[in-house]
Amino acid sequence: MSDLPVRVRIQEEGPREGFQYEKGAIPTRRKIELIDRLAQTGLDHIQIVSFVNPKLVPGMADAEDVVRGITPRPDVAYTALWLNDVGFKRALAVGSLAIEGSITLAASAAFLKRNQNRTLQEQLAAQHAIVRLYKQHGVAIGRGSIMAAFGCNFEGDIPIARVVDLVQQQRDIASEHGVTLQYILLADTMAWATPLAIKRMLGVLRAKFPAVEFALHLHDTRGMGIANAFAGLEMGVTRYDSSVAGLGGCPFAGHKGAAGNVCTEDLVFMCHEMGIETGIDLDALIDCAQLAEDIVGHSLPGSVMRGGNLQTLRNATKSA
């Protein structure tokens, strides 16, 4: 009936996506509390902070303190986001993080200008420069990322051909520097994708680049996140970014309301119910989602944390 995978890999981004987005200061110890709890759920990849300008993103001014405060587990990769070499050097300096290099392009010039104040050409040049920097520091470069791959609030629809071109550019940058990308992440940064758009995009990309693995970063701003993830699963995509409780949203994307990533526990629930393994304990994750709501002090978009795990109901009806 479809290409549903047997197992998916989920990269948790709630702490980074969420705490940079929330208004008002969240105590550092509470950020640490959530990260340490998430690390006990079976999640093996957690993006915990971003090293960005504290004047622009004050919620991340304590990034170093957060990294130093957690109790790291050896089976979990704790990662960080940065947008330039200043941020990268902060990430290196703090120690104990899994430093993962990436080549990041954007499908929308208008978004790139707002997000990083660069033109497309400046972004290309910056990627060559940062790859050189990564290599100097012995940092592996596993990921290509394409922001705004499905559409842009400031520029409109993104043609599939442009994304094909960007994938080729990323591969060219990588091969010029003797690097092999593990996968390419398509980010629906401003929530323009529909399940049909996901299928069409991945259909073309799989045909053009049969050897490349693709991953999805899906924002849920218009309620399509889980449906888009399902479409990705049907196209054989095995890597997803997500945020516990649906925390987060990009501070430069310019939209209102719930703008976070697709919700981790809702995604895990869907996978488990469809027989797809994640390696994650759903009940423990639901506890983390409720903790996240307690930390931010308002309700978050996740559904399963309220609707409940069906496996719990199944067990109850069997023992009744």
For the four alpha carbons of 292, 300, 14 and 277, in that order, the dihedral sign comes to positive
104, 141 contact by CB (below 8 A): no
Q: Kindly state whether residue 304 participates in binding a copy of itself, applying the rule CB under 8 A.
A: yes
Quick one: how far is CA 87 from the chain centroid? 18
Q: Kindly state whether residue 23 participates in binding a copy of itself, applying the rule CB under 8 A.
A: no
Considering the complex, state which of residue 84 and residue 290 has its C-beta at the smaller distance from a copy of itself. 290
Q: Find all residues with CB under 8 Å of 302, minimum gap 6, and list them.
A: 244, 245, 246, 263, 265, 266, 289
Considering the complex, state which of residue 18 and residue 101 has its C-beta at the smaller distance from a copy of itself. 18
Q: Kindly state whether residue 149 participates in binding a copy of itself, applying the rule CB under 8 A.
A: no
Distance, first Cα to last Cα, the chain: 35
Q: Kindly state whether residue 154 participates in binding a copy of itself, applying the rule CB under 8 A.
A: yes
For residues 81 and 34, give the distance between their C-alpha atoms in angstroms, rounded to a whole number.
18
Considering the complex, state which of residue 58 and residue 223 has its C-beta at the smaller distance from a copy of itself. 223
**From 85, 274, 277, 283, residue interacting with a copy of itself (rule: CB under 8 A):** 274
Interface with a copy of itself in residues 228-257 (CB under 8 A): 229-231, 255-257
Active site residue 288: no
Catalytic residue among 250, 263, 271, 288: 250
For residues 148 and 105, give the distance between their C-alpha atoms in angstroms, rounded to a whole number.
9
Q: Kindly state whether residue 302 participates in binding a copy of itself, applying the rule CB under 8 A.
A: yes
Q: Kindly state whether residue 294 participates in binding a copy of itself, applying the rule CB under 8 A.
A: no
Secondary structure element (H or E) that encloses residue 124, with its range = helix 120-136
Q: Using alpha carbons, list the distances in angstroms from residue 174 to 40, 63, 257.
A: 35, 29, 37
**From 35, 269, 282, 296, residue interacting with a copy of itself (rule: CB under 8 A):** 269
Number of residues that bind a copy of itself (CB under 8 A): 53
> Can you give the binding site for a copy of itself, defined by CB under 8 A?
1-2, 4, 151-157, 191-192, 194-197, 199-200, 203, 220-224, 226-227, 229-231, 255-259, 263, 266, 269-270, 273-275, 302-308, 310, 313-314, 317-318
